[in-house]
Each structure stands twice: as C-alpha cells, then as structure tokens.
Structure 1
Amino acid sequence: MNDIRRSLLRRDSLSAAKQVLYHLDILFGGQLQKSATPVVDNETAELVEEFVFSLPKERSAPRQMTSLQELQLLEVMCSYFQEQGKDSLRQAIFSALFSPQGNVADGRRQSMLGKLVSMAIAVCRVPILNCTASWMQKSPTHQCMRLAKVLVEDYCGSVPGPSQALRDIITVKDLVPPSDLLEMVVAWVQDDSQLTLLTFLSAPTPTSRPPGSLDPTPLLGLIRWCVKAPLAYRRHRKSPPWGRSPARDPRAADGHTGPLFSRLHLCVLQILVSVREHLAERHLFGRLGVLPLEGVAKLAGELVRLVDDEADPRDKDSDGAAETELALNRLAQALQ
C-alpha cells in the first residue's frame, strides 16, 4: 500500500483521486467474487480520505483540488456510477466513499456527497440516486438532514425569501415550506404514494416482532406539515398590532398553498389506509403502529404551543378558532 501511496503522491490531485477510484474498483471487484460483503481496510480508507477528500496524512501538506478539478472529479464519479453495470460493486464503492467514519474527514465527505447528488439530480443519474437511497437508510439522521438541506438550497433557492424558510424546514420550526418545495412533494406523493413506504414495502415480513411502530417513514413529517400549516400560515400573514388585517379562511390561506396542503393531507390519509391493508396482508395489523407514539406526542405538544401563541386576550378576533379547528381535524383524521 505504501507503493500505491508513493505513486499517487507523484500525480496531480485529480489524477490521484481517479486512480483511487480505479483501485477501489479492482479491490472490491475481487472481494465480491469471494464474499457478498466487501471489507474496506484501514489503509484503503486512508487513501480515500487523503486523495479523494484532500485530508492530509500526518504532517504532510494538504493536496487541495481547484474548483475545476473538483468539478471534473464529480463528472468522473457520475460517469463511473452510471456506467458500472454491477450494482453490488457500485453500492460497495459508494459506501466506501461516503459512509460516515466518525472522523474529521466526514465534513469533506458530506460536502462532496451533496455536490455529487445534486449533479446526479440535474443530469438524471439514477444509479447514483439509488446508491444515495441506500446510504440514507444506513446513515445517522443528522447526516441525512445535511444532505437534504443541500438539495433544498440547490433546487428551491429561487423561492422569494428562501433562506429563512429553508432553515425552518431543516430545524422543523413552526413555519411552512417554500411553495415550490411543497408543490414538488405533493406531486411526488400524488404520482406515487408508495414513495413514502419504500422501506416498509421492501422489508421482509418479520416472523416475530414486539409491539412497536413501522421503520422510519416520511409520514409523520408530512402529517406535521399538514396539521401545523393553518396556524403557521396565520402567523405569517398577521399584521403588526397597529395595522392588523382581518382573519381569513384558512382553507384559502395565501390562495395557493392552502389547496396544496389540502391535497397533501388527502394523500396522506389515503396512504394511511393503504398501510393498514398492507399490515393486514402481512398479519401485522394490531402488532405494529403506523406512527411512533413519541412523534405523535411531540406533534401534539407543538400544536398546543402554536394555539397558545396565537391566543391574544386583547383581541377577541385573534384566537384563530377556524385555523385551530382545521389543524385539530387534520390531526384527528390522521390518528383514526
């Protein structure tokens, strides 16, 4: 391995990174012929960190890529993962490159991953997106959220006043998502509701399982959006005390987003019905909860705080009764 490193040190940064990818291809290709689970040894991991993610080894000078070289490397990765015909090898190399290791290289690893996935979306590189889906199932939540934040910023950044709204999505604040993002999510869920249940539908039926809930799905997050939207939008459109505008029907909130949330809520209810059917088919109905109890309890607490924040004893018209009723109805329907 020292010979490989010395050879890489004689190359420029881009050429060395490409050579490491070639080395991974040969290494894992050989391992997969003998075992279904390839192993990344420490020396190979160090080569990846030093020559792909520019993390200096010991006291050696860092081998930083220029912006152009980094773009070229991303293009090389895109082409490799697209053209690699063996899914097991593609998944193994993707995991070796981007799985968190709990060290200082994780920041650079995450940054490169965000750029690669963003490029893959732009140029429709489906194999990379499939690898990313597998990566997200195995990675810590905060890593997945960081990737989601990058994609939201890249593809929803043109929304008026996006910066605050995007921060609110990532930190799950009371505010609502940008309208472009909301439209996209509604379209996805309407076109293929099973997108929200991929983990559940692809998992084998357990022979025995203690009472609990489904593996993590986006359902609770979508329910949170729908339930909190009426009160959150009301907070946004309220004028200052010296120029308060009259309350409006929450079903027409902002004219555009209100119907979108209604459509999303209907889709979520239909998905919940289909989940019950799937559970019944697998003889799991009554054994597995659809939503985690702690998540539902947290949502209820958030809703109570929103209602309390909206109540203003100085203004009899500020209690948000219509918005509160709509939010509670949506929560009740989701829990039925």
Structure 2
Amino acid sequence: MGSRGPALPQLVLSDVERQTLEGWSRRRSTAQALALRARIVLACAEGLSNMDVVRQLRVSPPTVGKWRRRFVEHRLDGLADEPRPGAARTITDEHVERVITATLEQAPPNNDSHWSTRSMATAMGMSQSAISRIWRAFELKPHLVQTWKLSTDPWFVDKVRDVVGLYLDPPATAMVLCVDEKSGMQALDRTAPTLPIMPTTPARRTHDYVRHGTTSLFAALDIATGTVISQHQRRHRHQEFLRFLKTIDANTPPELDLHLVCDNYATYKTPEIKTWLIRHPRFHLHFTPTSGSWLNLVERWFAELTNRKLRRSAHRSIAELETDVNAWVAAWNDNPKPFVWTKTADEILDNLARYCQRINDSRH
C-alpha cells in the first residue's frame, strides 16, 4: 500500500537554530504569532507529521504546512512576516526631516508663539494627521513649556552636600527639622455654595471668589517621624520667625541638638536672630542654596497641605482658615508619614551637570 499524501520536506535544525526557536517560544516579550511559528517548527523537527502538529498545537493544517515550508526554504528568516501589499508610501524621509527641522529651528510664519499641527501642516503642504504622527514618533510637543532655574549660589555644591548629608545620615543625638513658611495663604470664599459630587457629575464650584485676608504658616517637619510643629503668623518678619524658634524650642526634647534646614530668607539672618541663636547653642541652621527650595523637605509637606486641604476649601475669615489648617495638621500628626530622601549629593550634582551639558550643546 502506497504512502498517503505528499512527502513532507525534510526539516533538520542546527544547534543555533534550535536555541533561537526555543528562545522565541519561551520569551514573554516575543510576539505571540512568532512564538507559535517557533513551536510549529520545533514540533516538526521532532519528526511529527503535519496532522500530529495540528492536534498537538490546535492549529489548522494550512498553518502548519505554510510555516514548515517557509522554514525549509528560508530558515529563521522565513518565520518573519512578509511585506504586505498596499499603497506606496507618500511621506518620505525627506518630508519627515523637513518637519522636524522646521519644528526645532523655525518660528511659525503667522507670528504665533509656537507651531500647531494645523500651522505646520499648512507650511509643509501635508495633512494635519501626518504632522501629528511625526511629532508623536519623535516626542515633539511644541505646545508644552517647562520651567527651570539654575542656582547662582557660589556655595551651591557645599550646601547641597550639607543638606543632603543631614537627610541621609542625620546625627544620632539630634533632631533634623526642615523649616519654612507658607506665606500669603488666602482665606477664600466662593460666591455660591459648592455643589456636591453626583453620579456622572463632579463637584462644582463657582470660578469667582471673595478674599477675606491672608495669613502665614510657619512649619518645622521632623524628617525622622514626619510630625510637624506649626504656628500661624499674620506677618512674616524676623519677629515672627523668632517667635516660631521659641515654639520649636518649647516643643522639642531639651537634651537634643536641633539642626534646622532653612532657605535664604533675609529675616533668618537678622542681628536679633543671630543673637538668639548664640544664646541657644543647641540650634544649628543649615541653609539651602539660592533658588534651591526643592532641597527643603517641608516644601513637600506644604504640597500635601495644598492638595489635600487648601485647594478645595472655602473660608469666610482668616480665623476660620487658621482653625481649619490647625485641625488638618493635628490629624496629620496623629498618623504622620515621613518623606524619605533617596538621592545622594553626587547623584544630584551629576544629574545637574548632564543637564547643563545638554542645554549648552543644544544650539537653541
């Protein structure tokens, strides 16, 4: 009795091919279509017939026959997808280069501040969707602007190492407190009551408001525990800061030295403050660099206060605002969460050096 069906092409794998196919079939990052083709070829290389592979991998007979044949003819390259038929490409590399060059180096002809997809499409004679695809591919976002500020402090490096050293390796018998003030906190009241949240509708409030005055909040964040010592002051002169220093002195263990991380605010350096610090030698002030308030961890706590309390609150008086903030601070201190600093001074300085190098070499 003769053999049934056409003779199968012989399929023998080299060691390199077998390792490659096994890797394709196992790796999670491999496309599932390519992984299936690799498993088909591996099964065929074990001497199985096409129908045996069909039953084992639960695929159709034409699929097994196609990839067996493609591998025998073209080896590993045969498992890749062939170019699909379709319309010829209309946007060439030269078109893409012109769009990118114009985006980076030219201003819009209509005196706009930045390019839009419509204005670029008009200037290039291309469709708006084509411009959008090119910008997405190269991550160009002309509508966005980021702000940045480099410190001009001549002692920038020393101050960074000093402050970051306190965060990463605080003294064993001392407290490290990040001190600053949130000045100009406004007591704002909406001109109509805020409407509550409902299904499919967010909470709503009027865009206009009435001001009822401002206050300042002095805060000292304990980096070890996350607790905060706070005090409201209607002004922010050196007298108010001195009053807050006395509050810190009264609310911390007297046997501990206190290392205070402060910014370069002028009121912290007045003769009255210096005299008081000399009389209280357990206080040690460490100053962040000029334009370096991001080094002060209490700024991160102020962000929590703004996002979780101030931004969506309404107050009819300064006293009401201060009472509300005091209640929020008390709730925070009931369950404090310290902020953990992770970057070393060298990492910060290296990152800044790379950024300066990049903007200096950009030629823009």
**Normalising to structure 2: TM-score of the pair?**
0.19
Structure ranking higher in strand proportion? 2
Structure having greater relative contact order (Cα 8 Å, sep ≥ 6): 2
**Normalising to structure 1: TM-score of the pair?**
0.21
Structure ranking higher in helix proportion? 1
